[in-house]
Amino acid sequence: MSLHISYPNASDRILGSHKSPGGDIFLHGNCASIGCIPITDDGIKEVYWLAVMVHNRDQHHLPIQIFPARLTDEGLKALATAHPHQEALIAFWSNLKEGYDFFEKNHRLPRVKTRADGAYAFSPI
């Protein structure tokens, strides 16, 4: 059981490798993967069930947000500590934190747009 993730997105195409940005990324069961995102067998069953519910309501888009960690202040600090001297990566995670904070504050998904520089812009829907 698996679900395809929309990757690369507009930001990935701007900020990522222009030669080989990647693709064919799936959420799936199990606990191991090379290049995909394993979320355990029970986890994929739950997400797949939600995707079926969305589809049965004639919706064709299920937003899935993927973060490198819980992007609290402490989580971002831990990422920065684990990846010293990687300013571009830390800037990218800081940008993701804006969307994370928006959701934590409002308990609603923000509208997400990609700016010309590849950064995300978050606003109310």
Q: Which pTM was predicted?
A: 0.82
**What pLDDT, on a 0 to 100 scale, did the predictor assign at position 101?**
97
**What pLDDT, on a 0 to 100 scale, did the predictor assign at position 60?**
83
Number of domains in the chain: 2
Residue pointed to by tokens 């923000």: 110
83 and 37 within one domain: no
CB neighbours (10 Å) of residue 91? 12
Classify residue 83: in a domain, yes or no.
yes
Classify residue 66: in a domain, yes or no.
no
**What pLDDT, on a 0 to 100 scale, did the predictor assign at position 75?**
97
pLDDT in tens, the chain (125 residues): 888 888 888 998 898 878 887 788 899 998 888 888 999 999 999 999 999 999 999 998 888 888 999 999 999 999 999 999 999 999 999 999 999 999 999 999 999 999 999 999 999 98
**Dihedral sign for Cα atoms in the order 46, 104, 37, 9:** positive
* Residues spanned by the domain of 87: 73-123
CA distances from 71 to 53, 78, 90, 101 (A): 28, 10, 12, 8
